[in-house]
Structure 1
Amino acid sequence: MMVAVPISRAGSLSFSTVVVDAGHGGADGGSVWNGLIEKKLCLDVALRLERILKAKGLRVVMTRRTDATMELSDRAKIANKWRNAVFVSIHFNANRNRSVSGLQTFYRSSRGRMLASPVQRAMDRDLTGINRGIAIANFKVLRETIMPAILIEAGFISNRTEASRCGSATHRQKIAQAIASGILAARTHP
């Protein structure tokens, strides 16, 4: 069963809840490069994003708040309990080719694209890094959620320059602020 989030004015989404998913966790460390562990970065940015969005008056639901192992299906189940919501999964990327870098946002549905576009624009505007754009992906958390959903790759920790930035708490705060700015730009108040 699909639950549609209403579209308001010229392609904006109407939602009052943001489900924030810190990628990986627990036994799943994600990528480990240049002394950084993806799961820790994801949780840090997710908690920062939660604080920003709550300060803007949105309800925020976290899929995890600690270093816990979570199945991808369980993340989607948590999200699917909420009406009038969007889903934002935070990740960091890696590639064996250490010269690869940049910021990218993935989506699966047309409504997911309506969230991905302003988030990617905000990251491109507010963060240092190559804009890798938005792309359709069939990731399980995007496939199994029944609301507009995106998965953000907030930089390549395999790239020394980006790893150095991502290792900085100041930069992670900027990532959270850029994501929040994009989420708010996608929203029309319900």
Structure 2
Amino acid sequence: MTTQTVDSAPLDVRFEWNRAEFLRSWDATHRHSRILPPWVGWAFLALLYASTIRRYIQTPADAVRVAAITGAILFVCWLIPNLAARQLARMKEREIGPDGRSIVTTFSDRGVRRSNGKGDAFFAWASLRRVVETEEFVLIFYHWGNAFFIPRRTIAPHTLAELRGIIRRHLPGKATLLHE
């Protein structure tokens, strides 16, 4: 006796992306990723300085020098991720050009396919780490701290309910969805 599994019809979600939306998705991805937040690094630096500060500060000039170095390090810790996100958005725009702005994400029983006219990527359900739905995006994490986004504005309400059902079915326990 042979059994066949019948795949349900794939669900397509299409949208046009822009740089501002990409930057907001970058921020949302980092807010919801499970990597250490930047303040942990700053707290470590503060503890390190606090434990060694008495040895190095002998005069007021030393205090100014240590404060300037600390301020520069903290500024770079804040600046680098923000500049990287903006530069990545510019690179993506140049890389994909006008033909790649339209992104199609297809959800099927096999996995998730993402294409933009220039390239195509397939992620099997087992390779996806988790899904987070925010007020603005559906974030699909495929690697530690890396996700691709689908703006919720582009998903019709009945399609969003169907998408939530597909995600719950294929990623039980790995999805944080609104309106559960």
TM-score, normalised on structure 1?
A: 0.27
Which structure carries more helix by proportion?
Answer: 2
TM-score, normalised on structure 2?
A: 0.28
By relative contact order (CA 8 Å, sep 6+), the higher-ranking structure is 1
Q: Radius of gyration: which is bigger?
A: 2
